[in-house]
Amino acid sequence: MREKKSKTLPIKYSKGFLDKLDGRTELAQHLHAAYTELTDDLGGTDSLSHVKKVLAEKFCWLSAILRGIELQIAEGDKDDAGELLAKWIQGLNSLTGLARSLGLERKAKRLDDLQSYVSSKSKRRARP
């Protein structure tokens, strides 16, 4: 039997959470796109160490958590706003630390040859 994939963001981070999300959901598609964009900015997944891949995944998870807190603040009870804001500030500080660890500048992706580059671009467009 297939393992049932999650349709929601896990409350606690766990390694590989992106692969455990139901890829048909908007959340999963957004997080996968964010992860790909981030790792591309870092020079591509092939050039990243295991640690940087994990940090990139944590960055995407924490960024989504922060968006959820922002929605709660905007839509929620004003009595909870102070506590939510404190969580948001703590999360933002953590996100900033992850960004510094990953690197804030874009790095060029190493290409073996033009044919590989064209092939990789056509595979991305074919994804749903």
Model pLDDT for residues 53-97, shown as the tens digit of each residue = 999 999 999 999 999 999 999 988 778 889 999 999 999 999 999
Give the Å distances, CA to CA, from 42 to 6, 49, 105.
28, 11, 8
pTM score: 0.75
pLDDT in tens, 30-39: 999 999 999 9
Residue 79 lies in a domain: yes
Residue 59 to residue 69: CA distance in whole angstroms: 15
Find the domain containing 41 and state its range. Answer: 17-105
Asked if the structure places residue 25 within a domain, the reply is yes
What is the total count of domains within the chain?
1
